[in-house]
Structure 1
Amino acid sequence: MPVQPFAASVRHQPPSTGIIDLRGEINAAAEARLSAAYTEAEGRNPPTIVLNFGDVSYINSTGIALIVGLLARARKAKRRLLVFGLSPHYQEIFQITRLADFMTVFQDETSALAGSK
């Protein structure tokens, strides 16, 4: 299976949510782009940022650590971090690592946006 390079793009859902669409593999190589996307998403100072994992093919332990870093940034700014689009495998990983205790996991974008209000 070929490596899928990481990519991230940011959208804003008025009035108060930034959405980061993630693609490819979240590993050490993703750090700079993931951080830049988060900085862009928080630029409008939304109370909620949503991470879309729908097109993520792989997350390794370093990738989990990067997500924990985003959670720390969000908590420091008193911002909610929500996620959707996790495969069943990564939903289980978020449960095992207790990430799901600190960021709400939704099945799809519609429910995540409803949960961001």
Structure 2
Amino acid sequence: MEEFKIRLGFEKGGSLPVIHISGEITSEAEDEIVQSYDSIPNDKKIRVILNFTDTSYINSAGIATLISLITKSSESQGKIEFAGLNTHFRKVMDIVGLTDFVLIHDSLDTAISQG
């Protein structure tokens, strides 16, 4: 079991929040993911990137956390974007319908360079 870690960083001179998620996204990760998102200043929540490059596993509780984050973001006219999903996670996001609500980038660099 790979330890869950989360780190909030800012790109583009501090204007673009990026939540770096590594390890396994399960029910234990929910509080940290939500707290990390909530700690972003409101004026910077217009576009938030979740970086999954180092994510090794996600279960249904993890998916539910992502859905609640997407809902929370859209309620405040913000957008959540995903970056660095491997082929398997991309397929899972497609199956559960999240790709209809988030922009998916192949890599974090691609996500940062757009918008």
TM-score above 0.5? yes
Match of 2:73 in 1: 74
* CA deviation after TM superposition for structure 1 residue 45, in Å: 2.2
Sequence identity (%): 27
Query: Residue type of the partner of 2:21?
Result: L
The SS at the match of 2:29 is helix
In structure 2, the gaps of 5 or more residues are: none
Query: Residue type of the partner of 1:26?
Result: I
C-alpha distance after superposition, 1:46-82 (max 9, x if no partner): 1100000001100000100000011011101111111
The CA RMSD over aligned residues, in Å, is 1.2
TM-score by length of 2: 0.92
Match of 1:39 in 2: 38
Are 1:60 and 2:86 counterparts? no
Match of 1:111 in 2: 110
C-alpha distance after superposition, 1:69-105 (max 9, x if no partner): 1101110111111111111001001111110111011
Are 1:4 and 2:2 counterparts? yes
* CA deviation after TM superposition for structure 1 residue 7, in Å: 1.2
In structure 1, the gaps of 5 or more residues are: none
CA contact (8 A) 1:16 1:48 kept: no
